[in-house]
Amino acid sequence: MIRHKKTDLLELPRSALRNNAWLAERMHILHQAHFSDVQIRNKLFVRFGRKSRGRFGSIIAYPEPDYILPVTYITINGLFRDPGVPEYVIEGTLLHEFAHYTHGFHSPHPRRYEHPHKGNVVNKEIIARGGGDILKHQKKWIKEDYKKYLQFRGML
């Protein structure tokens, strides 16, 4: 059950505010806990993007003039800046996108699969690396609370 009250973000304690630095720290913790054997071979940025009802995250790589290898960007739904979204939803999304990185999609790693989602390879990777509980909680929140959250935010 979602427990929200309408609060102006300026009234929240600074520690409750989520920004790109907070997101990068979450990614670092998850990398160490679940993907410590996976080398980050290029510059990797994690950031919040625009708000979306349907897309939780994305990964893309672009050539940048100051870097030899393309730079990878993991972008997380801007709605997830809201402290009303549980951290495990964000963690599940970060794990999902980093699994793509590990599989060689938008990263210098060798491509392990022809298709990024076929055969449930992303979830299998996360579960094999000990992230199954995060996925389970994320899936439960999406099923039980995400629609209510979107309605509360005026997005449905």
- In the chain, the number of structural domains is 1
Task: Report yes or no on 45 lying in a domain.
Answer: yes
Residue 16 vs residue 9, higher pLDDT: 16
What is the H or E stretch that residue 75 is in?
Answer: strand 71-76
Return the percentage of the chain with pLDDT > 70, whole number. 90
At 101-112, the pLDDT tens digits run 999 999 999 999
9 close to 77: Cβ distance less than 8 angstroms: no
Sign for the pseudo-dihedral over CA of 48, 49, 54, 58: negative
- Look at residue 8 and tell me if it is in a domain: no
Nearest to 15 by CA among 5, 2, 25: 25
CATH number at residue 37: 3.30.2010.10
Can you give the residue range of the structural domain that contains 84?
A: 16-152
Task: Please state whether the predicted TM-score (pTM) of the whole model is above 0.85.
Answer: yes
Strand-strand pairing, 44-48 and 71-76: parallel
Give the pLDDT mean for 50-55.
95
Residue 5 in any domain: the answer is no
Tell me if 29 is assigned to some domain: yes
